[in-house]
Structures are given as structure tokens and as C-alpha cells.
Structure 1
Amino acid sequence: MPTQPCTSPVIELLPPANSPPAILVDVRTGTRPDEGYDRVVFDFRDNTSTPGFSVSYEEEILEDPSGNPLPMLPGAKLLVTMRWAAAHENGNPTVPPGDLDLRPNLPRIRQVRRAGDFEAVLSFGIAVAPAGDPAPFRAYALPGHRLVIDIAHAGQNPWYCGQVYFADQQKIINGIDPPVTAVERRLTKPAVAGAALQELFKGPNEAERERGLLFVDSHATGFADLRVSEGKVAHVRLLGPISSDGSAVITIANEITPTLKQFPTVDWVKIYDEDGKTERPDGPVDSIPEQLEP
């Protein structure tokens, strides 16, 4: 796990290759001091799609396709790569020239500059103050064909930097216990436990799947009725006709339990089937439904 939370790459699935390119029409920045972050927004034309994207800190931002270093103001370098996207159409730019090199001088964001627009790969570099000290960030798509990057102000914690535990195929093959590995996720406050389970059900991202991580869902289609009772006991009901498929190594319970126990308000986890049944419903002890037994 990273030594500084919420600085790991954010990767969202790429759209199908036959999707129409997402056409960028606007880039804007702003600051929200009351909420504790600066923001960059990439707006795409409504009749196109929102692109797949990756956002990560890099030692240096390179221009695409030349490979030359991109001249930028001092700061940590955040690379935003949008795939199956473009800032031009029929050879004409679709973004005002001033949007290609913004210098807003915000608390964190000093510059947003286009790095490439080639073969449906659109990239921008963001100079984040101060240099040498990457600030926590989050990145996500919003309705209305918008890609948003938020960068936390110094000393602020506008979102919870938590973990989600996925099944690890290498650990399973080699008999290593526990058979799960934690990955970093940005969790929306205040309902961070529910946000963590939502991230679990989304499954690992592309890079995490390449590392051999996967979501074992045990046929659960979702969850409901998440609550934490006195005694630091978390309760969650799984939806769908769940089954362990006879596995004595890994079920969804192996992923849910540590994902919830990371929070200081949770010492015990009770998982219920869709009918609200679990093997040990009472007392300070973990519990799973009978269907998750091997």
C-alpha cells in the first residue's frame, strides 16, 4: 500500500473500441475551500460518451506522440489519460485554445496543460503544488459526460482513504492465508462502510485484475441493511441466492469481513443471506450464512 493515502492510480474501464470518440469541449478549474479541495473538470460533448481514463502521479509528463518532456510549472506531476477521446474533430479543435494551458494558481492546482491528442488518446498534465509532495486526489465520472479530478488541500481529509479486499489468485494457488489482498479506494464520507462495500461489488480495476485480483461474489447480486450495532458489530444482508460453490478457501465473506473490520467502529461482522439468516446471530462473534460454508 502507498505510504501516503489516496495517491495511488485511479483507473476506470475503457469504453468499447467501437464507441464514438468522446469529444472534449471544455476544461475548467475551481477551488472549494469549505470542502477542502481544488477541482479540474473535463466536459465532453453530450452526444458522445465519457471516456475510459487513468490518473496517476508520474516523475515526468511526456508529450504524445513525440515523447519529449512536457514543459510545465513546478509541482508534482499528475497525468490524466483519456482513452477513446479527442479534443478535435475533422481536423478542427473542439476546445478553446485557452483551455489547453490553464494556469489558475489555486492552492493545489498551478497548471493544467494538454500533453497529447493522438489516435483517440487524449492526455493532460496537472502541476500540483508543492513539488515533491504528491497531494491526495480522487477521479471519477459524473452524469453529463464529465470527468472530475479533485485534489485535497493541505491538512484536509475531504474523503476517506480506505481499503477493499479482493481475492488474490496467487495466494490461493500457493495456499497463502488470508487469500485476499487489500487495494486502496477513495470512500465518500460519511457512510464510508457502505462506500467500501459498493467499491467491493464494483470489482478490481484493470490493473488490479492484471495482478491476479478478482471479486469472488458467491452469486451475491448486492447487499442491503448495512448497520453497526452496539458492541462494534457490523450487520449486512446479501442479496441473491448465494452459494460457496463448495469452496473451503474463499467466499465473499473473506472479502467483506476485512473490508468492514478496517473501520474503528467494527470489531465483528455478521453476514446474512437474503432471508436474513446467519449461523451465529447473537454475541460478539463473526458469523456467515449456512450457504457460505464449504
Structure 2
Amino acid sequence: GGGCGTACTATADCQAGFTCIGTNVCWNDTKCSSGDPTATPIPTATPVPARPALCQSATISKTSLVPDDSLTITSTANTSDIKTFTYGFYNLDNLYGPNNPKPIFFTADTHYIRSDSTTPPVTTNSITVTYDRLNKPDLNWNSQKPIKIQVNAYFTNSEGKFSAPDANCVVQFNISSAPTATPIPTATPVPGCLCNTDGSCASVCAFDKFAAPITYANPIKCSLSDSLFPTPPSDKNSWCQRNMRTKGDADGNGTINNMDYFYYISAVVGGKIPVTVNPDFDGDGAVSNLDREIVIKTLNP
């Protein structure tokens, strides 16, 4: 079978793990874009044409998927000439390197991909993703079930050209088979606990901190960069009033679970997080590995 860029009419014409994209070339996002030596190189005499920039956006209806639940992913192209919408699923816990997740394999050596073809060509497409479809062993990750998932949306136009990767057409979500965690009691708000104009929490604010060797900023800050959010946060006082924030409560709901860890990961990889969320658990004004240490310690005491 053919490797990267080899002409095809169906996936059966391609190597194992490759997909016939747009019904014209064999492709595997990981091998063809990472320089994997096991991938068949593109012949010099017949280079693959530059992949067009067709992405406008991708959105997701929710960021957490639980048993008996579903979510919707919508992808939109910058042209109405799209005949096939393709969605590649990746495991954010299984990385080649920073910000480079490996594809999910529910079948051996086969990237899990969803595709929808439309006639006539259109601009926008949506797919429904169910819990049952994804609550399976990832054969590319020692048969563990995926938890944090990334989906890359691609487009094939009427000329059969398959779009280039685009960060605007990437969405992420969390899937969990664990029961809902028992809520951690939230302390009574302390009067006068506010976010000062200098970006620090007032000295009267109370936090339930881990003992050494975990270290925290003093004072705890409420000064995360606006660039982490879709719009600038308007209520930074609430960040100071979360007693359990210093143990990993990013969203302030009094519960520390995988969603708090997911918000931390989203901030680290450059994704936008809700304006109410603050994954700066050590209070130093930034999201870093120090914050990961805190939330992991809570989730795995």
C-alpha cells in the first residue's frame, strides 16, 4: 500500500494506519508531518501540492463528556466549496513531545477519524460525539482508555484538496468514567477578601494550603494574564475567595477533579479558558509545572 502522498482511490490502497484523504492521496497526520522514518517518503518527482488553508473555526458544545452523554463539534470552512469534513482524534496524555499528541487507535494501527461527505458542497458541518464511542481502549496508548482528547478538523474541497492543519480548527475535551467526586466543603467567605489593585489577594484571605515542600507565593496573586481568556475577567475577587484554589480548585465549585486538571492543561497549551477559571494554584501569577504538582497531589493523595 501507499504511504505519504501516494495516489489512491480508497483507504485499501494505502499502508496500514494511513487514510485515503479526499479520495486522492494516502495520508497519516502523525507520520507525514512528523518525519517518522517508517513513513514512505513523498517521491521527489511528484511532490504533494501545498495543502490549502481552508479553516475558519471549530467549536465544541461542552468540554466534559460523562457516561450516557454526548457533545457536538462544529467545523466551519472559509469557503462554501467543501465536499468532505474530516475529524481526527488525538490523545492529549500520549505525546510525541510538547503540544504534539499521538493519534487514538481503537483499531490496531488505524487513526480514529470521523468523516462526513456532503452534496452539494457546503461551508459548515457538525458531528455528534458520544461517550460510548470513545470509552474504549486506545491501542496506541497501552490499551488505556483516553481521558483528555483533542480533535483536529480538516476540509476537502471540490478539487479534492485536503486542508492544512490550523490551530483555529482544534478543540479539546475531557472524558471521564469516574464517579463524581465528593464535594470539598467551601469555607465561609472572609469579609474584606478582595483582589487588590496591585494584583494580589488581600492579607485577610484564607487558603487551605499544602505543607512544605509545596511552596506558594506570598501574597497569593490574582493577576493572571488576560491572554488566557476569551475576554478579560471581570471578577478577580472570586479568585481570592476560593479557599481550595491553593489545592487545585480551578473553577471554584468546591470540588477538585479532572476538570480542574483539564483547565490547567488548556492554559499550558495555549487554549482559552473560561473567565471564571484560575489554574494558578500556587498564586505566583502564572500557570506552570508548579501548579500541576499541586493539582496532581490533590487528585492522587
Both structures adopt the same fold (TM-score exceeding 0.5) = no
**If the length of structure 2 is used for normalisation, what is the TM-score?**
0.29
Q: Which has the higher strand share?
A: 1
TM-score (norm 1): 0.30
